[in-house]
Each structure stands twice: as C-alpha cells, then as structure tokens.
C-alpha cells in the first residue's frame, strides 16, 4: 500500500472517486476506438455475461485509477510500461496462461519482448502495438505549404513551419511518455536521457510548438482529423487509420494520411490485465480468452487499424492492413523505432513537470 501511495505521489497525487460498481456485470476499461463495433455485443451474445465498457484517453488516468485501487474494473488495457509499474505496485492479478485456452495464439516474439516489463509473462497479455506519428490532411497542408515535410518532425518542431498550420489546427496526443522521448530523439539525444540539460532542451522545443497547438485530447483527434477540423496531428497510427476510414465513409472529401517520421519514433505495446481487486476475475479471463480468438482480434484490427499481437490472427487481417507499412512497419523502418520504456520515479516526476508546463501553455 505504501508503495502504491509513493507512486501516486509520483504521478501528482490525483485521487479519484471509485465507481464502486457493486453489480454482476463484467467491467472493462479501455481506450476509445480500440474495439470493433460488435466486439462487446458478440461477447455478450456468446457468453451471456452482462458486460460494460468504460473509456479513457490518457494512460495517466488509467494508471492513477489502478494505483488508487477499488476501481471496480475487471479487465484493463495498460501499455506495457504502465503495466510494469502496476505489477511492481501489486495492483494486478497474475494470469495463468493455462486458464486461457487461446493463449497459444499469441506471437512468441512479442511475448519475449514483453517479458522485459513483465518477467515470465505473468500479468500482461499482449493486445496491439503501434507507433506515434504524423497524421495530416494533404489538401489543407499543401494549400498552406506546398512540399510540406510530412515525413519529418520538422513539421511540428520548426516553428516557422508549424505556424503555417495554426489556422487549420494542430493536434497532439496527451501522452508525455511518448512525446517527450520523441522530442529528445528528434534532437539527437537519448529518448530516455536522465540528464536535466537534455530534458530542458526538449522542454524548450515543445514550448516553441505550444502556441500552434489547438488541443491535446487524444480521443478527439480521430473525429477532428476525420472532419477536417484539424489539418495535422502527432497521433497514434491506428487512430489516424480510423480517421481516414471515417472521412471516406462520410464522403466529405476529407482525406487523412499517416507517416512514421523519418527521424524515428516510439513503438508502444498495449496489453490486457486484471486488477488485483477485480470483482469478477473469472469473467475477466473469459473475456480475455475471447479476445485471443483469432477471429475476434482480427475483426478488431480490421476496424481500428492497429497491428495485433496474435500470430494466428494474421491471416484473417485484411491484406490492405497487413501490408500497410504504417501499421506493420518493414524492417528498415523498425530500425528507427525505439521502444517505450519506464524511467525511475524521480525522472518520471521531472517529465511530468515538463508536460504540465507544456500543456498549460508554458505559463
Ligand atoms: C485507440 C488508442 C490507442 C492506444 N484509440 C494507444 N496506446
């Protein structure tokens, strides 16, 4: 408990009221736009388990709620690094692979990679993986700057370029654990540098961009890019894909493209986990096992444009997604990607401070 408390302070000590849902339903807590439309309804039809879905858009919110405890949730979706900290804090329940008949479908290489954060793969079941990159509306962008560097982070970090897009709107994910390493890497510094002077340089870079950013509501970026309310965003690969698909369906003439920046970017892994105090752990296992069915998770990838961690599902993923280099980056691009990593509490606190200053607009 003390350990948990110390971590909450590290996160800024935000205490949230627990929903304390004392009912029989299975409660799931996931990002928005991270299931297919019928993922939950199919599960209910198949299992007869009443299931509710709550959404978050920032990992910080999920982490704080998990560390506070008594969230009432049964299945949650932390990134591997948030999962790592939750394991250390005792906030998750171990998951026995033997209780998941579909566990063997998972990609063995990904499990090995994930074992760095979850030794022995005891708590986290891999779900999807993604990059954070440049989503843009080609029409709006080229009208303001023909030959804009859409494959380079210069488009954000060179103020003379970024300011051209202020009027059509720049968005950004609310994800300090991604954006700060991306800024450091852009500067040619170690994305996980613990040097104060490096962090200061990243802060300076971010603050120069801040006046041109319209908002940082991660979940809102999908609809704003899809409707042409924003022309540029530093956002998650799949969310850019969802925005492009929605724009196409709406036949509004808006198009959305996504590029992995040539300077390199972060690759993150999201997972499924069961809180230590989950009220319905058996139902949670049934749900996770359902997600591990190749058809279930392939349908999700086909809807949300994220690469999943299920090797048996690959053949069921649409070819246009499987062969999309922005979703499954080829080897030469992967060499430029760096993996999301946890930092010690003091450095995490320092980065939280930089982010708070940045989000507030530098005042
Ligand atoms: C889905 C959000 C992706 C999660 N809309 C990024 N960690």
Ligand 1, pocket-test mutation among 34, 217, 307, most atoms within 8 A of CB = 34
**Considering the entire predicted model, what is its pTM?**
0.92
Residue 74 CA, chain-centre distance (Å), reads: 20
Closest by CA position to 355, among listed 179, 234, 158, 184: 179
- Predicted confidence at residue 77, as pLDDT, reads 98
Report residue 331's pLDDT band, with 50, 70 and 90 as the boundaries: confident
If you take atom 5 of ligand 1, which residue's CA is the nearest one? 33
If you take atom 4 of ligand 1, which residue's CA is the nearest one? 31
If you take atom 1 of ligand 1, which residue's CA is the nearest one? 34
Q: Are 151 and 261 in contact (CB under 8 A)?
A: yes
Q: How far apart are CA 160 and CA 292, in angstroms?
A: 47
pLDDT at 292 over 80: yes
Report residue 362's pLDDT band, with 50, 70 and 90 as the boundaries: low
pLDDT at 354 over 80: yes
* 10-123+268-328 and 131-265+341-359 agree in CATH topology: yes
219 CA: nearest ligand 1 atom? 5
Q: How far apart are CA 295 and CA 257, in angstroms?
A: 27
Pocket of ligand 1 (CB under 6 A): 31-34, 79, 130, 236, 238-239, 268, 270
With 0-12 / 13-18 / 19 or more C-beta atoms within 10 angstroms meaning exposed / middle / buried, residue 25 is middle
Q: Are 275 and 71 in contact (CB under 8 A)?
A: yes
Instruction: Give residue-wise pLDDT tens across range 298-324.
Output: 999 999 999 999 999 999 999 999 999
Q: Where are the domains of the chain?
A: 10-123+268-328, 131-265+341-359
- Encoding tokens for residue 318? 């649409």
- Encoding tokens for residue 254? 């808006």
Phi, psi values for residue 236, rounded to 5°: -80, 140
Summarize the confidence of residues 231-241 as an average pLDDT. Answer: 98
Q: How far apart are CA 47 and CA 280, in angstroms?
A: 14
Given the DSSP bridges, would you call strands 170-172 and 75-76 parallel, antiparallel or unpaired? unpaired
57 CA: nearest ligand 1 atom? 2
pLDDT at 3 over 60: no
pLDDT at 5 over 90: no
Instruction: Give residue-wise pLDDT tens across range 195-229.
Output: 999 999 999 999 999 999 999 999 999 999 999 99
Going from the Cα of 83 to the center of ligand 1, the distance in angstroms, rounded, reads 15
Ligand 1, pocket-test mutation among 53, 239, 242, 246, most atoms within 8 A of CB = 239
The verdict on domain 10-123+268-328 having CATH code 3.40.190.10 is: yes
CATH topology of domain 131-265+341-359: D-Maltodextrin-Binding Protein; domain 2 (3.40.190)
């Amino acid at each position: 408990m003390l350990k948990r408390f110390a971590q909450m302070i590290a996160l800024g000590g935000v205490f949230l009221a627990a929903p304390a849902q004392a009912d029989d339903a299975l409660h799931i807590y996931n990002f928005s736009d991270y299931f297919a439309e019928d993922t939950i309804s199919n599960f209910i039809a198949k299992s007869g388990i009443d299931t509710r879905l709550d959404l978050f858009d920032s990992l910080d919110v999920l982490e704080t709620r998990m560390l506070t405890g008594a969230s009432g949730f049964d299945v949650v979706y932390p990134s591997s690094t948030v999962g790592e900290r939750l394991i250390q804090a005792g906030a998750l329940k171990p998951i026995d692979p033997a209780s998941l008949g579909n566990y063997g479908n998972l990609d063995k290489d990904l499990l090995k990679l994930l074992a760095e954060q979850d030794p022995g793969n005891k708590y986290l079941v891999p779900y999807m993986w993604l990059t954070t990159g440049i989503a843009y509306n080609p029409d709006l962008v080229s009208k303001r700057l023909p030959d804009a560097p859409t494959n380079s982070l210069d488009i954000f970090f060179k103020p003379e370029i970024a300011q051209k897009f202020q009027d059509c709107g720049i968005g950004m994910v609310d994800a300090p654990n991604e954006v700060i390493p991306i800024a450091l890497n852009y500067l040619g510094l170690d994305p996980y540098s613990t040097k104060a002077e490096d962090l200061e340089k990243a802060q300076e870079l971010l603050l120069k961009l801040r006046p041109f950013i319209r908002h940082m509501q991660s979940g809102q970026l999908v609809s704003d890019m899809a409707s042409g309310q924003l022309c540029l965003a530093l956002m998650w690969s799949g969310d850019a894909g969802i925005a492009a698909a929605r724009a196409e369906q709406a036949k509004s003439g808006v198009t959305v493209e996504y590029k992995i920046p040539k300077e390199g970017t972060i690759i993150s892994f999201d997972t499924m986990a069961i809180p230590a105090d989950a009220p319905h752990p058996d139902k949670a296992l049934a749900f996770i096992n359902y997600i591990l069915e190749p058809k279930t998770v392939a349908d999700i990838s086909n809807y949300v444009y994220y690469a999943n961690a299920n090797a048996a599902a690959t053949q069921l993923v649409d070819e246009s997604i499987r062969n999309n280099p922005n979703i499954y980056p080829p080897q030469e691009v992967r060499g430029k990607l760096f993996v999301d990593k946890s930092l010690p509490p003091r450095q995490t606190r320092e980065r939280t401070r930089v982010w708070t200053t940045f989000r507030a607009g530098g005042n």
